[in-house]
Copies of this chain bind each other. A is one copy, B any other.
Amino acid sequence: MEHVSFLPLSRFAVCGGTHGNEMSGVYMVREMQRQKADRTGSVSVTSVLSNPPAVDACRRYMETDLNRCFTDALLSGPTTDDTPYELRRGRELNAQLGPKGSREAVDLLCDIHNTTANMAVCLIFYSFDWIALHIYKYIQSKMTSAPVRALCLNEPPSEAYSLESVGKHGIAIEVGPQPTGVVRADIFNMVKEAVDLTIEWLQKFNSGSTFEGGEVEAYTPVGSVDYPRDPTTGEITAAIHPQLQDNDFKVLRPGDPVFQLFSGETVKHEGDDLYPLFVNECAYYEKKVAFKLTKKITVTLPSVGVKKD
């Protein structure tokens, strides 16, 4: 089995409020700042409220989705009077925590998100980041309060659009179900446990522990499904079917119900056996996504450890 070694991972950033109405990250970051939690052993911790105006307004964003602003092209474009707030803020965050792809970037960036979907703890990262995958494996083995799963995205680094891509390694922690604008203790506790376990892993890594390789399961996107709509008005004419609602990560087979029309009829799944994610996520109505479809994959990890000089 392969072994891969990395330089110490001493600079860790935790971001919240990237979407201003996803409250776990907002309150997690504020609590870390209140407790001045800026170092744990070998790890320096920076906590950042990503989008303060959107947090104040309790909105996902002010002008454009901040978590789509971190591609190389968007980060390097010109700033003018017409540049949306979030694009300007994205460049600030890149200067503070990156620059993306540089030696100066933080070693690990965790960005905290919530979903209205019943996804429990879902770690999202760009494949195949061995550090992110090992932290996922560690959290999954330690956490008992909720299932822990991983979604691997396939964009190349330059096309990676989300905040965590600014770090040398990056993980989005997506936790739900939680309504926007609301903080639930059970969901907050999951987020806190995931962050604490990440810091614990970084400490062990930096102090010379070797993390054995092995196989982990993950999901990878293959498409998405929009709501049925009125052909004239474009208005949604159905809700997610009760048999699909809250059943993220459970296999969807051809013929399984997916929508209940407001007039009463059922719409069924057509196509392959696939795994639905982000089922009835609030913010995806505007993106015309009722749920995402993924396939399950198995990833074989090398063992990892700190580079010895």
Q: Hey, which bits of chain A sit against chain B, CB under 8 A? A: 27-28, 30-31, 34-35, 58, 116, 177-186, 188-189, 230, 235-237, 239-242, 245, 260, 262-263, 280, 282-283, 285
Report if A182-B280 is in contact (Cβ < 8 Å); known contacts: A34-B230, A188-B262, A262-B188: yes
Which chain B positions have C-beta within 8 A of A263?
Answer: 31, 34-35
- Asked whether A240 lies within 8 Å of B282 as measured between CB atoms, the reply is no
Q: A186-B242, A188-B239, A230-B34 are in contact. Are A27 and B181 (CB under 8 A)?
A: no
Determine how close the nearest CB of chain B comes to the CB of A287; give it in whole angstroms.
13
Q: Are A282 and B34 touching (Cβ within 8 A)?
A: no
Would you call A280 and B241 a contact (CB within 8 A)? no
Question: Looking across the interface, which residue of chain B has its beta carbon closest to that of A282?
Answer: B181
Contact with A239, one of B27, B237, B241 (Cβ below 8 angstroms)? B27
Residues of chain B within 8 A of A240, CB atoms compared: 184-185
Asked if A185 meets B239 with Cβ closer than 8 Å, knowing A179-B179, A180-B282, A282-B179, the reply is: yes
Contact A262 B27 (CB under 8 A): yes
Provide the residues of chain B in CB contact with A28, threshold 8 Å: 262
Contacts of A34 in B (CB 8 A): 230, 237, 263
For A241, what are the chain B residues with a Cβ–Cβ distance below 8 Å? Answer: 185
Note all chain B residues with C-beta closer than 8 A to A35. 263
A179 to B185, CA, bound (A): 16
User: A280 — which chain B residues lie within 8 A by C-beta?
Assistant: 182-184
Shortest beta-carbon distance, A61 to chain B, in Å?
Answer: 13
A180 to B180, CA, bound (A): 7
Docked CA distance A111–B17 (Å): 34
Further 17 A-B residue pairs, CB within 8 A, beyond A27-B262, A28-B262, A183-B236:
A30-B262, A31-B263, A34-B237, A34-B263, A116-B181, A116-B182, A178-B179, A179-B182, A181-B282, A181-B285, A182-B282, A182-B285, A183-B280, A184-B245, A184-B280, A185-B245, A188-B262
Task: From A116, A260, A283, name the one whose CB has the most chain B CB atoms within 10 angstroms.
Answer: A116
The answer to whether B186 touches A31, judged by C-beta atoms less than 8 angstroms apart, is no
A115's nearest neighbour on chain B, judged by CB, is: B179
Please indicate the chain B residues that have their CB under 8 angstroms from the CB of A230 in the complex.
34
Partner of A180, one of B181, B188, B237: B181
Chain B contacts for A185, CB-based, 8 A: 239-242, 245, 260
Q: How far is the CB of A28 from chain B (nearest CB, A)?
A: 8
Q: Which of A189, A230, A241 has the most CB of B within 10 A?
A: A189
Contacts of A242 in B (CB 8 A): 185-186, 189
A188 to B242, CA, bound (A): 11
CA distance A230 to B242 in the complex (A): 40
Which residues of chain B come closer than 8 Å to A236, judged between CB atoms? 27, 183
What's the minimum C-beta distance from A194 to chain B, rounded to whole angstroms?
Answer: 15
Residues of chain B within 8 A of A184, CB atoms compared:
239-240, 245, 280
